[in-house]
Structure formats: C-alpha cells, structure tokens
Structure 1
Amino acid sequence: MLNVYVIRHGETEWNTQKRMQGRLDSSLTEKGIKDARSLGERLKDTDFVRIISSPSTRAMETAKLVSRKNPKLIETDERLMEIHLGDWQGKVEGDIQIEYPEEFHAFWNQPELYKSLDGENFFDVKKRIADFFMELVKSPPTGNVLVVTHGVVIKALYLLCRNKPIEEIWSPPFIHGTSLTIIKMDNGKMELLLEGCTDHCR
C-alpha cells in the first residue's frame, strides 16, 4: 500500500493578484512561506520514501520548506507542472476575460470544451498526471510519498480518484495554497483519505 501526500505550492504574489501563472513563476508570499513551514511541522513525524516536486520554482520552494529535514530527497517530474496556459500566462484574469471571452467562459464553465492554441487543455493535464501515478505505484510499491504540485493538476487528480469526467474538474473542494490531500493506493485503486485540508494554515 502506498500513501501519497499531495500538496499545492504555497500562496504566491501572482495568486494574490489573480494573475495566471501556468508555466511562469512568481515568488511565495510571506503567508505562503509561513503556511509551508506550518505544514512541514504538521508532517514532521511522517517518513517519506520519496519527495517529488513540480520543477516550477514556487513548487520547489514549497517542497524545501515542507521537507526541511531531508531536502536532498527532493526530485522533480515535469508531469507535475501546472497546466500550460499559453498566451494567458502572466495576465490577470480580468484582462483575459476581455481578450478571450469565449475561451475564458469555457475554462471556468465548460472545461471539456476549453482549448488553448499554444498551451494545454484539461484532458492533457489529466493524461499526464495519470501517467505519473501509474508509474509511481510501481516504485516504490509501499510507504509514504510526498508530491508537491499545482491547483489544476490536483483537480485533475481528484477526477482520477473519483472516476469522474472533465466536466466536473471544478467541483469542490477548492485547492488552497499548501492544502493537503492524502491518497491511498492499493491494488490499483485510488482512495481519497483527506481532501484539500488547510488545518495547519492558522
């Protein structure tokens, strides 16, 4: 049996500005740093056989703060990166809504119809996170694994756990910065034990 502890990176400057990040980056806020340290304290007695992070700076910084006991254990996997948003990256949501009204509406209201000419769609994200987890369960087959990733990736992961379609990607819970999700993987089955918990963010 494998227990996978999945966390979203801490709050960033662009998060507070409602600016789309995608594959771009911005620094963690003071709150993001504080919450990551608090999560590290919460998980201090949990032994991880692997720590795998998105290579994005905000995810790596979060991983280091959470796993301060053994930062050398951190490895990266590009399949954990946030959805590639193409020309939307670096723009605030209000401007995107004005420049790309149909695409913006689809993104939030009809995700199965959302298309990006120079980025990814939700199906792309779901496929790569499924590939990641299929590989993860093979090595190691037991123990605790910490995964540091992004909001849309975690939402796609929930779909896999629940066997739900892309249409439901925005169903609750909301994935806050440093929120903790725990998934039990046993005999090919994925069971959500904890969803988007932020009890450490006080």
Structure 2
Amino acid sequence: MTMTQLYLVRHGQTEWSKSGQHTSYTDIDLTAQGEEQAKALRPRLNPEEFGLVLSSPRLRARRTAELAGFTDYEVTDDLQEWNYGDYEGITSLDIRAHHHPGWRLWFNGVPNGETADQVRERLTRVVHRVRESGVEKAICFGHGHASRVLALCWLDFPLIFGQAFPVETASLSILGREKESWAVLRWNS
C-alpha cells in the first residue's frame, strides 16, 4: 500500500493577508509580492511528481498553483478557507477591540460563519481522499486556517492545537508518516 505524502501550499500574499484581515469567501487576487512568492515555489515543486493536485476555488489559491507551475488541478470546495461570517474582512485586533475581547478563532468561533466541527468535517474529507488516492504525492493549494485544520485532521489532533501551527503565505508544508504514526515532515518551509 502506498503511503501518500501530502504537500500543503498556502496562497501567496494578498492585500488582506498583508494587513491581517480575515479572508474566506472574499475573492481577492495576489499582490505583486504574492505573485513573486508563488513563482519562487517553482524550483521546489515538479508538477509531474504529483498524482493528485487539488485547489481551493478562491482566486488567490488557484493563481498560486498556476504561478507555481500547476496548470492541471482539480478545484474542490472542501479546501475553502474557514468561513469567518461576520468577521470577514476584519483583523483579530479589531475583533477584540470592537466585538469580542479576548477573541480567538480556535476557542470562540465566528458569528454567522462555520463552526469548527463543520470545517473539520470537510477537511477530513480531503484527508480521506488523499489517503485513498494511492498516489505517492498529493498537493493542496489553500489557505492559512484551513491548512492548519487539514494538518490537524491528518494527525487526528484537536482543532484548538491550530493556534500552534501558523502558516506563512506561499509556504510549503509536508505531511506523511513517521514509522507507524501520521506526522508533520516539514512545516512552513
């Protein structure tokens, strides 16, 4: 049985990732720096090595995939960013100052957005799909919080651990196995 390695790529910089604004369903493009970040992934990733290539439907993820050299990918809604509901477009500092003192996504969730259980459910579907694919390498182009949740689903960890796994723009992380355990092989490289 093939043990698939799962590569996670967060999209390159956008104006909102630069400012710290929560971005889920707002479909904004990469900045010029974000485009350069995505292009810098090319020498590190050979599209021919990946038997399964998935992307979030959001423009920032699809553009990152394309600029990294992946033109043949499947779009899946399961890789969308956590739906921030009423906190869409707002920074954590503004949320704490004007809406909910002490707010943290991992503990408090979002009003009129997705629950942690809903996010876990759809990203667990991605984990099952990758593990059952039979390919040696799979890659997912996605988002910051959703990539953290995907990794936690891979490891079967509680979602509150997500606070300890920050994901940089245009970073590459690799999940796989270490002997008999699911493992993080590389993070934010």
The two structures share one fold, judged by TM-score above 0.5:
yes
| 8 A contact 1:4–1:185 mirrored in 2 | no
Partner of 1:125: 119
Partner of 1:77: 76
**What aligned pairs does 1:154-169 form with structure 2 within 5 A after superposition?**
154-169=147-162
* Aligned-pair Cα RMSD in Å: 2.3
SS in 2 for 1:51: strand
Structure 1 runs not aligned, ≥5 long: 198-202
Task: For 2:138 and 2:154, locate their aligned partners in 1 and report how far apart those are by CA, in whole Å.
Answer: 17
| 8 A contact 2:10–2:172 mirrored in 1 | yes
Alpha-carbon spacing, 1:188–1:127, altered in 2? closer, same or farther (3 Å):
farther
- Indicate whether 1:152 and 2:145 are aligned: yes
**How many aligned residue pairs are there?**
187
The match for 1:137 among 131, 136, 146 is 131
Partner of 1:195: 187
Alpha-carbon shift at residue 94 of structure 1 (Å): 3.6
**What aligned pairs does 1:1-202 form with structure 2 within 5 A after superposition?**
1-44=3-46, 47-68=49-70, 71=71, 73-102=72-101, 105-108=102-105, 111-112=106-107, 114-139=108-133, 141-172=134-165, 174-184=166-176, 190-197=182-189
Alpha-carbon shift at residue 75 of structure 1 (Å): 0.8
**1:100 counterpart letter in structure 2:** H
Partner of 1:200: none
Task: For 1:144 and 1:165, locate their aligned partners in 2 and report how far apart those are by CA, in whole Å.
Answer: 25
Alpha-carbon shift at residue 160 of structure 1 (Å): 2.7
- TM-score, normalised with respect to structure 1: 0.82
Q: Deviations over 1:62-110 (max 9, x none)?
A: 0111125xx1x211110100000111112344432233114xx3425xx
- TM-score, normalised with respect to structure 2: 0.87
Structure 2 runs not aligned, ≥5 long: none
Alpha-carbon spacing, 1:45–1:87, altered in 2? closer, same or farther (3 Å):
closer
| 8 A contact 1:2–1:186 mirrored in 2 | no
Task: For 1:169 and 1:123, locate their aligned partners in 2 and report how far apart those are by CA, in whole Å.
Answer: 13
Share of identical aligned residues, percent? 25
| 8 A contact 1:54–1:80 mirrored in 2 | yes
